[in-house]
A and B are shown apart, each in its own frame.
Chain A
């Protein structure tokens, strides 16, 4: 499964509002919940916040990858946002976060879920890639950046 398989323009925002971690997390969950694959938004919310309690998903360099598993989705669901303001996310490197990738997987599909997690986190560890995303003017531009990156990744 590819990143461009789970993202559509509908679940991408380039100027997400919200002042703190809780607000932006709720905003990206609302974004993901526009997908008909989300069967119960509240259960998704619980799963995401529970996972955040175990260890912050702010993995550093201004990027966070909130994720969780639940039965309340019919398939892996994603959402992507660049926030308008830098957010204090209790990241491990204590830097504020601007790029957020939300990933919600099904309880019984661990393999694809963690495969996507590692692929996304690896991708976001590239400085120039994050810069491109921060400067993307629109959701369409964001999608194009992912498409290009994945095209080169899968040809290699």
Chain B
């Protein structure tokens, strides 16, 4: 395969993905499904006809993409928002994941008749929720959540992948290495998570420290610097035996909540990088699957997927959040936002590469589960939020009502004025003010509220107002607003 061919095909796939995302923008389809769909259509069984079965390459793309997605997700998470839900999210990300894996594992073992360990392997692979999917659904314009469910779900999805990775790798280890025990796996767990968290904290702070003292000559280099840092943090953690995903997410969280030079442009840079990662990862994974083989696992897939969505996830969420002061419908909502995404598919390539006998079936099953989860849960989240009454009015996300735009050929401009203290205008209704003709108070901001005034609206001291006024009338308006009450000032 020539370089030109790879570049041509790669860029076309990215552009097609963007076009499709744009096309389906209003339908609320989770973007990951669209990107997976592009990959599947481009594959050898679709019109694209690209033959791709390199699980190793797909896994590498997936891991690199996850590093950036997790780092960007951490950068974009406000510590102040997630701090109150930290313990809940941490238990969901560990105990909750473990319970989900166990429940699905037992179910698969009993119902599909595979060995217990293979069942647990499948359970582990699908045990984590997907950060990219959860973020994109919760931050889309169709949902607005009340209370703490949003930060809880974001923190959970950002931090539960390491646990799933760990469980998967641990069980593969048990399956392939004779003589290994559960005890050795548990020790490994403590080391991985501990090292991952500590390294993430330390290196994240170090990165911010260096960024602020670098004084680079070119702004663009800051992006390159921090991109290399993210990869370095992942690499360092993995090399010395920690969880790289946890480290890179924690480092992102640390950096995102510190002040550093060029923060705004870096956030934008990583946002773009995360999108590119998502597209590349999902398209590659879509290419990797052969849709015809999915059909053969449909029955089992529906069974496991249904069990995961309606039994395993809710049970583990309700159990884990037993001590949490959350209303039952908030817990039900958290259960429903158990979106599976790229991580299970990437993890499903692990058994493939380890050469396990049932790997192919596991991969297809997992792919099927992710598709149904993304389709059913991803699509229905706005409705479920409304149904469970955990949604907030969408107005809060609406753009502010008025934007300045210079008007050609009109001598009128929009100025922002403040009603002075002790102003005679305060306490009067707008109609009493006697504003000059052709001038209009269009908006009043008072505390947290915007008021679109009518003639009877009463002004208060300290109100910020937007006034539409032409130059000739300005002095009159100034006089009306600025005049002091006779006894007021002194």
Residues of A within 8 A of B (CB): 8, 36-37, 54-61, 63, 65, 67, 69, 74-75, 91-95, 107-115, 117-119, 121-122, 124-125
Assuming the contacts A92-B484, A110-B403, asked whether A119 and B421 have C-beta atoms less than 8 A apart, the reply is no
B481 contacts which of A55, A63, A65, A114 (Cβ < 8 Å)? A55
The contact sample of 22 A-B pairs, CB cut-off 8 A, is: A54-B417, A55-B481, A55-B482, A59-B418, A60-B420, A60-B423, A60-B484, A61-B421, A91-B420, A92-B484, A93-B422, A110-B400, A110-B416, A111-B399, A112-B400, A114-B443, A114-B466, A117-B418, A118-B418, A118-B463, A121-B464, A122-B461
Residues of B within 8 A of A (CB): 259, 261-262, 264, 399-404, 415-423, 443, 445-448, 450, 461-464, 466, 474, 478, 481-482, 484, 488-489
A114 contacts which of B416, B423, B461 (Cβ < 8 Å)? B416
Set of chain B residues within 8 Å of A122, measured between Cβ atoms: 446-447, 461-462
Given A110-B466, A121-B418, 10 more A-B residue pairs with CB atoms under 8 Å apart are: A8-B259, A36-B261, A55-B481, A55-B482, A56-B482, A65-B418, A75-B264, A111-B402, A118-B446, A121-B463
CA distance A8 to B258 in the complex (A): 13
A110 touches B474 (CB 8 A): no
* Least Cβ–Cβ distance between A82 and chain B, in angstroms: 18
Q: Which residue of A lies closest to B259 (CB)?
A: A8
B445 contacts which of A8, A59, A114, A125 (Cβ < 8 Å)? A114
Set of chain B residues within 8 Å of A118, measured between Cβ atoms: 418, 445-447, 462-464
A59 touches B416 (CB 8 A): no
Set of chain A residues within 8 Å of B447, measured between Cβ atoms: 118-119, 122
CA distance A92 to B462 in the complex (A): 13
Set of chain B residues within 8 Å of A63, measured between Cβ atoms: 421
* Least Cβ–Cβ distance between B214 and chain A, in angstroms: 13
A115 touches B418 (CB 8 A): no
CA distance A59 to B426 in the complex (A): 13
B402 touches A92 (CB 8 A): no
B464 contacts which of A60, A94, A117 (Cβ < 8 Å)? A117
Q: Which residue of B lies closest to A154 (CB)?
A: B448
Assuming the contacts A92-B482, A111-B401, A118-B463, asked whether A60 and B421 have C-beta atoms less than 8 A apart, the reply is yes
B264 touches A93 (CB 8 A): no
Q: Which residue of B lies closest to A57 (CB)?
A: B418
B420 contacts which of A54, A92, A117 (Cβ < 8 Å)? A92
CA distance A114 to B416 in the complex (A): 7
A59 touches B464 (CB 8 A): no
Q: Which residue of B lies closest to A109 (CB)?
A: B400
